[in-house]
Amino acid sequence: MTPANIAGMGVINGLQIMALTDHNTAGNCPAFFKACRRHGIIPIAGMELTTAEDIHMVCLFPELDAAMSFDAEVKGHIMNIKNRPDIFGHQYYMDEEDKVLGEEETLLISATDYNVETAIALVHSYGGVCYPAHIDRTSNGMVATLGDIPPEYGFTVVEFNDSANIEEYRQKYAAVKDAKVLCSSDAHYLWDINEAKNFIDIDDEPYSSSLVRNNLLKLISNK
């Protein structure tokens, strides 16, 4: 799962737009942007933030600069646990050719000290949007962790890992009943990246990658 290989798999799978949302970092987004542009894919810079409740939240930003500023803010709020590469693997920062630029020593799968409410406000302050990740998973999903999606969070978008679970969750959870739904691959390996089977029609006239990104974020915004 290196920046150039992720973009390359996107081409193979017929994707037109991809978001990189590593755990608690956006450090590889600059390389990912360059790799995607080389392949004609629209890149989105993001992060899968782990809250203090151990809930995963997808955070997406309209421009790379905003994501990198958010990344700098988050760095000081991750649990101070050193990574064990022999157990968890190396956490490399790379360029668009997948050359190693450095290595993150803090374990990135740890939780931050932001609770969900604080995390939402912080993402919005950087112009981004956020929503609960893979709510149909038992690990780090908001429903599995809290038993529901509290209405006071104001989410109008939720993410599913498996579209087959959508109807069951709509019937069972009030917050999901009328919510917009995104189905994402949540890929941790190249072979997990979905083909273009889930899609959204986005206005792209007059065309620019920035316009498409901003139109997508407006569509899924819960602000």
Asked if pLDDT for residue 223 goes beyond 60, the answer is no
Average pLDDT estimate for 203-211 = 90
Question: To the nearest whole percent, how much of the chain has pLDDT over 70?
Answer: 99
Residue 222: pLDDT band with limits 50, 70, 90: low
Residue 142: the pLDDT is 95
Predicted pLDDT at 82: 97
Q: Tell me the pTM.
A: 0.94
The pLDDT-based confidence of 198 (bands split at 50, 70, 90) is confident
**Contact in structure between 46 and 23 (CB atoms under 8 Å):** no
Distance CA 16, CA 10 (A): 8
If pLDDT is split at 50, 70 and 90, which confidence band does 19 have? very high
- If you classify domain 3-220 with CATH, what class do you get? alpha beta
User: What is the predicted pLDDT for the residue at 160?
Assistant: 94
Cβ-based neighbours of 78, under 8 Å, separated by 6 or more: 24, 106, 107, 108, 110, 111, 112
**Which pLDDT belongs to residue 110?**
95
pLDDT tens figures, 30-44: 999 999 999 999 999
The Cα–Cα gap between 45 and 221 comes to 15
Give CA–CA dist 129/222, Å, rounded: 7
Q: For residue 199, what pLDDT band results from cuts at 50, 70 and 90?
A: confident
* Beta-bridge partners for 157: 180
Give 116-158 pLDDT, tens digit per residue: 999 999 999 999 999 999 999 989 999 999 999 999 999 989 9
Quickly state the pLDDT bin for 15 (edges 50, 70, 90).
Answer: very high
| Buried-state track 43-57, b at ≥16 Cβ within 10 A, e below 16 | bbbbbbbbbeeebbb
Task: State mean pLDDT over 95-117.
Answer: 96
| Distance in angstroms (rounded) separating the CA atoms of residues 77 and 142 | 20
Q: How confident is the model at residue 200 (pLDDT cuts 50, 70, 90)?
A: confident
pLDDT at position 27:
97
Q: Pull the structure tokens for residue 207.
A: 């065309």
